[in-house]
Amino acid sequence: MAYQEVATTGYGTRVGNSFKAIGSGILLFIVGTCVLWWNEGRAVKTEKMLDEAGSAYVEMENPSKKDASLEGELICGTALATTEDSLSDQQFGIGAKAISLRRSVEYYQWVEHAEEKKEDKLGGKEVTTTTYTYSKEWVSRPIESGQFKDPAYQNKNMVLTTVEDAEQYAENVSWGAYKLNESLIHSISSREGLDLAIAEDLLKQMDKSAQTAYERFYGVKKQPVEQPVETVVLSDSAKAVADSLKAVNDSINEAMAKAENKKDFEYIHQAGNVLYYGRVPGSPEVGDVRVTFEKVVPAKVTVMAVVDGDSFKPFKAKNGKRFQTLVMGKKSGDEIIEAEKEANNMWTWALRILGVLLVIGGLKGIFGFIETILKVVPFIAGIFGWGVGLVCTIVGVAWSLIVIAIAWLFYRPLLGITLLVLAGFLVWVFAFKGKDKLKELAAKAKEKSAKPAMTPVE
């Protein structure tokens, strides 16, 4: 049964909050405007830098041999990235010769989901109904269940142990006759599982600690049983997350079952690259912990950067923008530049959309008090709220186009003038066409509110 909380906000409080929101609306409007301006400059500078890099780079035919003539040149070449460094995880006494070593931790916990439903009442009050549901999920951090709203789920979470996520990188990674710098090393993504070989004495010690934690929370030791399926009402988004997590969990359990390095104690299980705290990995209980170990192994990579002695540094364009990259596999310089341009274009549009939404949201925050004042009659407020929202959207889009156009005037005047004309057209449509539409809506609202109530026929 879902747990619900109902809260009522009075008309005076709502009006006061709407006036307070004007300040945050102004701030949001300014932030959105700044994002739009900055993004256009960033996009143009990045594109010019990529054009400059695309015409300046040279192909490094043989990275296995140093070439003094390439000193200071922007190169593009492919070779095997490898290392002789040995990395170790001191906490678990394991290690490997690898470019990177990563430990990631998950906890099986009760998770609280909240869904709000707001309803306007005659007289200006607002009733908010919040429905809380709960489900067991693998999460990246322990959850404090003492703060849950439903008393039935409070203090239901525990963990058998706490382990921090950790990642470390080799300092010396060779690429042919050269060494990769730190930024390039971090770009290598050839991850694979690190088969565990944890000392048996350490496993027994961890097993004892986990047993103590388990019995402290659950009381007397229970026999391992298949966990019953609990019926929990979840929102669509929460259900989608739960389904994806279940698929990941099933694949991990399958891999653990097939692992050759499998070691099972009562509360500790080692298999493949997973260390599991809990009684039955295939049937997790609240408090179980799953630690996954991965390593980055040698791989063929393509580097585009400036040769700096026996290593590399970023390319610096005339406009000050810097560029260096490492991609997996063999790629040509043209392919890399084209991919970077596509990424730049994608980021430009994403930030444009974000900026426009911030501007529109800011305008709605500034003028939202108009709708709130009219909330004494929800129907009337709904019509005016729609009108205010429409006006804010049109003005927000027009303002955004003007900001973008002015920014582009500094870089590409022709496109900037085109955008200014488009923004002017939107303003004209709103000024001459939108005004008539709003008058029409207001007249309909007035007519509806003035219509006499129906009286029963005797």
What DSSP string runs through 255-295? HHHH-TT-EE-SSEEEETTEEEESS-TTS--TT-EEEEEEE
* Per-residue tokens: 210: 């986990």
User: With bands split at pLDDT 50, 70 and 90, how would you rate the model's confidence at 64?
Assistant: very high
Q: Is the pLDDT of residue 456 over 50?
A: no
In this predicted structure, the answer to whether residue 349 has a pLDDT above a threshold of 60 is: yes
Identity of residue 257: A
Which amino acid is located at 42 in the chain? R
Instruction: Report whether 89 contacts 95 (CB < 8 A).
Output: yes
Q: What is the CA radius of gyration of the chain?
A: 31
Reduced to 3 states, what is the DSSP secondary structure of residue 174?
strand
pLDDT of 226 reads 45
Provide the angle, in degrees to the nearest 10, between the axes of the packed helices 435-450 and 378-409: 170
CA 292 to chain centre: 21
Percent of the chain with pLDDT over 90: 62
- In this prediction, residue 75 carries a pLDDT of 96
Average pLDDT over residues 376-392: 78
Lowest mean pLDDT among 83-87, 260-264, 267-271, 314-318: 260-264
With 0-12 CB in 10 A as exposed, 13-18 as middle and 19+ as buried, what is 299?
A: middle
DSSP output for 1-30: --EEEEEEE-HHHHHHHHHHHHHHHHHHHH
Q: Out of 243-247, 289-293, 379-383, which region has the weakest mean confidence (pLDDT)?
A: 243-247
pLDDT of residue 388: 84
Given pLDDT bands bounded at 50, 70 and 90, which one contains residue 135? Answer: very high
Residue 108: name the closest of 266, 231, 227, 235 by CA.
227
Which region among 20-24, 57-61, 445-449 has the lowest average model confidence (pLDDT)? 445-449
Average pLDDT in the 437-442 region? 60
Distance CA 354, CA 404 (A): 13
What's residue 458's pLDDT? 41
Q: Is 81 exposed, middle or buried (0-12, 13-18, 19+ CB in 10 A)?
A: buried
Give mean pLDDT, residues 289-306: 97
Can you point out the beta strands (E) in 387-450? none
Provide CB contacts within 8 A for 133, sequence distance 6+.
Answer: 2, 3, 112, 113, 115, 232, 233, 234, 235, 238
State mean pLDDT over 97-118: 96
DSSP letter, residue 375: G
Instruction: Indicate the DSSP class of residue 68.
Output: G
List pLDDT tens digits, range 398-426: 899 888 888 877 766 666 677 667 766 76
Mean pLDDT, rounded, of the chain: 86
CA dihedral 401, 406, 407, 408 (to 10 degrees): 90
Residue 215 has pLDDT above 50, yes or no: yes
Give the integer Cα–Cα distance in Å for 33 and 14.
Answer: 28
pLDDT of residue 410: 73
231 confidence band (pLDDT: 50, 70, 90): very low
Q: Write down the pLDDT at residue 416.
A: 61
- The one-letter amino acid code at 159 reads V
Nearest to 107 by CA among 79, 144, 138: 138
Pairwise CA distance, residues 156 & 147, whole Å:
11
Alpha carbons 285 and 108: distance in angstroms, whole number = 7
446 or 321, greater pLDDT: 321
- pLDDT tier, 377 (very low <50, low <70, confident <90, very high otherwise): confident
CA-to-CA distance for 132 and 114, rounded, in angstroms? 5
User: From its phi and psi, is residue 76 left (phi > 0), alpha (psi between -120 and 50) or beta?
Assistant: beta
- The C-alpha atoms of residue 149 and residue 156 are separated, in whole angstroms, by 12
Q: Which residue has the higher pLDDT, 324 or 376?
A: 324
d(CA 391, CA 386): 9
The DSSP output letter for 220 is S
Weakest mean pLDDT among 9-13, 126-130, 331-335, 386-390 = 9-13
Identify the helix (H) or strand (E) that includes residue 346.
helix 333-373
Indicate if the pLDDT at residue 311 is higher than 90.
Answer: yes
The encoded tokens of residue 354 equal 């974000």
Quick check: pTM over 0.85?
Answer: no
Report the alpha-carbon distance of residue 45 to residue 6 in Å, rounded: 52
Whole-number percent of the chain with pLDDT over 70: 82
